[in-house]
Structure 1
Amino acid sequence: MENWLANKSIVVIGGTTGLGFSASKAFVRNGANVVVVGRNPENCLVAELQLGSTARAKQGDATHPQTALDAIQLCIREFGSFDGLYHVAGGSGQKFGDGPLHELSLQGWNQTLDLNLTSLMLSNQAAIRAFMGMNKGGAILNMSSVVGFSPASKHFSNHAYATAKSAVIGFSKSVAASYAEKNIRVNVLAPSIIEGLEDITEQQEKFAISKQPLDGGRYGKPADLDGAAVYFMSDYSKFTTGQVLTIDGGWDVTDGQS
């Protein structure tokens, strides 16, 4: 198999579980060096063991300003380069108080935006500064969600989360425009409902599968995004920036059964 990412060194924020870990394995398979960042120390140990000698894991909270910076410095120190950032970290804010607007708490709003948007701004800022400091181009790939632009209000109405994921797109396009002349590319993946969600009801599950009819109708799998992540980190996408690739099993173009 061709090594799409030979000689690339990539930092994955949220890379020790789920979508990020699956992508990290794909990066390594395609020849990359990888630094994965996760909140849980045990997950970091497991990830480093499974990813092998061309990977390092670092424990950290993506909402802290130093976390991405430290990971990028580790990447440069260990592998001699930093070529790409994949920001996956984020998630539901329901446990903080996210929900429909008439029920949404201020704490739910703030913490959901911090988890999904502020963390991403911080990692992107650290990456941009690193690329500029090294006077080189690079790739940034950010994680949005189909609910940021294709809502399903009856079944999925966490409004702070939808806001954050919509804002990821606006933020990424704006940054892409500002740094294109420096050969820094910024793109976005927007998946639909991925397997492993907590607290999903039977009704939500039935709706989601009907709204994602591809491949027999199912939840998305982390591996469904791996090929796109490899592409955006590779030189095959060197003429692509400011784009949103929706990987949603048909969510955005189908009605779904309520």
Structure 2
Amino acid sequence: MTGATGIGAAVALRLADLGHRVFVVSLDPDECRPLVALLGDQAAGFSAADLRDESAAVAAFTAADEALGGVDLVVAVAGGSGRGFGDGPLHEVTLQAWEETLRLNLTTAFLTARESVRRLRRTGGSLVLVGSVLAARPSPELFGTQAYATAKAGIAGLVTTLAAMYVNDGVRVNAVAPGLVRTPMARRAASDPMIQEYARRKQPLAAGMIEPGTVAEAVCAIGLAECVTGQVLAVDGGWSVTEA
């Protein structure tokens, strides 16, 4: 699984609770170590790798394959906000900000998907990617990060094309598209009263921000569902069906 905080950590812990051995791939070893410790006997190890880098991604998946004795489920959570690069309304976005945001959110998904499929084709299995509700249900006033939304829309396209390409190999490819989740990436939102009020109206089922464990439940459900492929499941507390 890729990602060691927020949704990634919640998914890893949920999979461990379900009896799965988990190998963690994430950029920061200081985030990987405490998660692996929490996984206890279900931990298969970790690799600190920048999944924007092809050689690092290949090495990380090789390590995971060896540690697990084969890969049958991959959950790709790695990614993050592009605000630090300058992501925002398109007329203000530089080419560098655009490219860096897509590298962080779409290139990581591509390399993770490619390395996953190369292994899953051997015996079948499941890949779950993480998109965003913003790809299809934008909120320009509060979340006007257009490179990020485009990258997440690209993940939805990747799901459809990969599911069609590899269905006869027994490989299932799906995604979840969360709404506003209480993660380290959402610190700005968590500290902004206007966004918090918006979240209470926009995500009424969560009465505000969604907890990572809620998303993890959906990730595990769709990832382990044997006859489901090519789907993007919104886990958004009602965001996509409310007017607020």
Taking structure 2 as the reference length, what is the TM-score of the superposition?
0.94
Q: 1:68 to 1:31 in 2, by over 3 A?
A: farther
Q: Which amino acid in structure 1 is aligned with residue 96 of structure 2?
A: Q
C-alpha distance in structure 2 between counterparts of 1:138 and 1:40, whole Å: 27
SS at match of 2:70: coil
Which among 79, 97, 112 is matched to residue 123 of structure 1? Answer: 112
C-alpha distance in structure 2 between counterparts of 1:186 and 1:127, whole Å: 10
Cross-structure match for 1:251: 239
Q: Which amino acid in structure 1 is aligned with residue 198 of structure 2?
A: F
Percent sequence identity is 34
| Offset, 1:80 | 1.5
Q: From the two aligned structures, give the one with the greater helix fraction.
A: 2
Q: Which amino acid in structure 2 is aligned with residue 206 of structure 1?
A: E
**Runs of 5+ in structure 1 lacking a partner?**
1-11
SS at match of 2:126: strand
Cross-structure match for 2:69: 80
C-alpha distance in structure 2 between counterparts of 1:255 and 1:131, whole Å: 41
Q: Which amino acid in structure 1 is aligned with residue 164 of structure 2?
A: A
Cross-structure match for 2:205: 214
Greater than 4 Å deviation, 4+ residue runs = none
Cross-structure match for 1:39: 27
C-alpha distance in structure 2 between counterparts of 1:13 and 1:251, whole Å: 26
**Runs of 5+ in structure 2 lacking a partner?**
none
> How many positions carry a matched residue from both structures?
239
SS at match of 1:13: coil
Correspondence list, 1:144-183, <5 A: 144-183=131-170
SS at match of 2:220: helix
Over residues 74-129 of structure 1, what are the superposed CA-to-partner deviations in whole Å (9 max), with x where a residue is unaligned? 23322212101110011110110100011111111100000000110001001111
Instruction: Find out whether 1:240 has 2:239 as its counterpart.
Output: no
Question: Contact 2:47/2:60 (CA < 8 Å) preserved in 1?
Answer: yes
Instruction: Find out whether 1:231 has 2:224 as its counterpart.
Output: no
Q: Which amino acid in structure 2 is aligned with residue 190 of structure 1?
A: A
Question: Contact 1:139/1:232 (CA < 8 Å) preserved in 2?
Answer: no
| Offset, 1:171 | 1.2
C-alpha distance in structure 1 between counterparts of 2:227 and 2:56, whole Å: 29
C-alpha distance in structure 2 between counterparts of 1:67 and 1:13, whole Å: 13
| Offset, 1:71 | 2.9
SS at match of 1:246: strand
C-alpha distance in structure 2 between counterparts of 1:67 and 1:82, whole Å: 18
SS at match of 1:45: helix
Over residues 142-181 of structure 1, what are the superposed CA-to-partner deviations in whole Å (9 max), with x where a residue is unaligned? 0000000001112211100110111110111111111101
Correspondence list, 1:24-103, <5 A: 24-55=12-43, 56-103=45-92
Taking structure 1 as the reference length, what is the TM-score of the superposition?
0.89
C-alpha distance in structure 2 between counterparts of 1:145 and 1:68, whole Å: 23
SS at match of 2:59: helix
Cross-structure match for 1:106: 95
